Amino acid sequence: MTADDHLPLAVLAGDGIGPEVVPVAVEVAAAALEPHGIVVDRVDLPFGGHAIASHGAPVPQTTLDGLAETPLWVVGPHDSASYPDQLRTPPPGALLRTRFDLFANLRPARALPGVPATTPSMDVLVVRENSEGLYADRNMAVGAGEFMPTPDVAMSIGVVTRAATERIAVEAFEAARRRRGHVTIVHKANVLRLTTGLFRDVCLDVARRYPDVRVSQQHVDAMAALLVRSPDAIDVIVAENLFGDILSDLAGELSGSLGSAPSLNASSARAMAQAVHGAAPDIAGRGIANPVGMIGSVAMLLRWHGDRTGEHRVTAAADAIDAAVAHASANGARTADLGGAATTADVGAAVRAALSEVG
């Protein structure tokens, strides 16, 4: 066995349902890679509420050091709303994205076979800018991007730069070439004329380099309505941080359930699989969380790695995971949020069993 036959994965279970869905997703990855002769080397790192208890911080230095050494990460959600006040900002997810410049957040939404979806025909990819935008908590080198001049006045700093917009637009147009060849630029340039107007204009500049890709643009509020009314008209959405976050939750829920929605955060050097959903404290500890979003995120991580390195065995494992999830779903392995009765572990076992059927 050579070094190529080992795939190190940094694993951060996180809070709430994280310790339930993350191990299931890692087991599925290991099962999909095993027939290709690749062994997962799991590197567990402290993260979230447990890390506050053991290390005094949700993302301790030892975790940052471990992540710096490992390009592929599987990360559960945080429940920063439950942290002590002084440890809530920046939220752990934002800290990781900023520290490692994970500028591209790719969030596909597609209905699974057999799942009652509000919009069963949806097949959309939201490409969300991850490093700036209207999320003020990541916009300042020093100081906070939100502040209160008086107890009754709150202000927030939004940032849009040409460089960050250009690189996310390139991600969106490249993705469209691999899909149905259509990008919709989302903005609100009738009101936020300078910030989201710059975002729109830079995306349009990038569009000129992709004459084979069709371009549309929508205001974010109109886009929300369009996602419900005509999802077939949408292929790839490119949006700044806050708009992309909201639209991807909407698309995820419309195509089945927030719990099924996968997501990848990537720089040019490393990538983090982290499902769209949060820590779901309302159902944590009951073994009923839907692991499909986390499993799909891990499939995206493997595909990102396979495409980048030319390691076809890893790409094949990613394809097998997606096919196995669809197969298991069609055969009724669905958690309560999808109208089923399966537990988190049941779904994991069904997906692992389906790997041999789709392989």
Contact between 57 and ligand NAD by CB under 6 A: the answer reads no
Q: Report, in Å, the least distance between residue 90 CB and ligand NAD.
A: 12
Q: Report, in Å, the least distance between residue 162 CB and ligand NAD.
A: 28
| Residue 297: Cβ-neighbour burial (10 angstroms; 0-12, 13-18, 19+) | buried
| Residues contacting residue 37 through CB under 8 Å, at least 6 positions apart | 1, 5, 313
Comparing CA positions, the residue from 68, 93, 182, 172 lying closest to residue 127 is: 172
User: Which of 249, 322, 337, 346 is the catalytic position?
Assistant: 249
DSSP state of 164: H
Contact between 258 and ligand NAD by CB under 6 A: the answer reads yes
Q: Report, in Å, the least distance between residue 14 CB and ligand NAD.
A: 7
User: Which of 4, 41, 65, 221 is the catalytic position?
Assistant: 221
216 Cα distance to chain centroid: 24
Q: Which of 17, 164, 207, 301 binds ligand NAD (CB under 6 A)?
A: 17
Q: Is 123 a catalytic residue?
A: no
Q: Is 249 a catalytic residue?
A: yes
Q: Which of 112, 283, 295, 325 binds ligand NAD (CB under 6 A)?
A: 283
Half-sphere exposure of 43 (CA within 13 A, CB side): 17
Tokens linked to 244: 């992309």
User: Which of 15, 79, 188, 322 is the catalytic position?
Assistant: 188
Q: Which of 39, 68, 81, 233 binds ligand NAD (CB under 6 A)?
A: 81
Contact between 93 and ligand NAD by CB under 6 A: the answer reads yes
According to DSSP, the residues that pair with 239 across neighbouring strands are: 128
Cα separation, 281 vs 330, whole angstroms: 28
User: 285-314: which residues touch ligand NAD (CB under 6 A)?
Assistant: 289-290, 293
| Residues contacting residue 28 through CB under 8 Å, at least 6 positions apart | 295, 298, 321, 324, 348, 351, 352, 355
Q: Report, in Å, the least distance between residue 75 CB and ligand NAD.
A: 8
Cis status, amide bond into 90, omega within 30 of 0: yes
Q: Report, in Å, the least distance between residue 180 CB and ligand NAD.
A: 28
Q: Is 83 a catalytic residue?
A: no
Question: Containing H/E element for 267?
Answer: none
Q: Which residues of 27-41 are buried (b: 16+ CB within 10 A; e: fewer)?
A: bbbbbbbeebebebe
Stretch that binds ligand NAD, among 136-144, 283-291, 295-303, 307-315 (CB under 6 A): 283-291
Residues 80, 86 contacting (CB under 8 angstroms): no
Q: Report, in Å, the least distance between residue 358 CB and ligand NAD.
A: 23
Contact between 20 and ligand NAD by CB under 6 A: the answer reads no
Cα separation, 44 vs 58, whole angstroms: 14
User: Which of 15, 79, 235, 245 is the catalytic position?
Assistant: 245
Question: Which residue's CB comes closest to ligand NAD?
Answer: 278
Stretch that binds ligand NAD, among 76-84, 98-106, 228-236, 321-329 (CB under 6 A): 76-84
Q: Which of 85, 211, 282, 310 binds ligand NAD (CB under 6 A)?
A: 282
Cα separation, 291 vs 263, whole angstroms: 13
Q: Which of 31, 33, 67, 78 binds ligand NAD (CB under 6 A)?
A: 78
Contact between 187 and ligand NAD by CB under 6 A: the answer reads no
Contact between 277 and ligand NAD by CB under 6 A: the answer reads yes
Tokens linked to 337: 């949020």
Q: Report, in Å, the least distance between residue 293 CB and ligand NAD.
A: 6
Catalytic positions, written as ranges:
135, 188, 221, 245, 249
Positions touching ligand NAD (CB under 6 A) are 17, 21, 77-81, 93, 258-259, 274, 277-283, 289-290, 293, 337
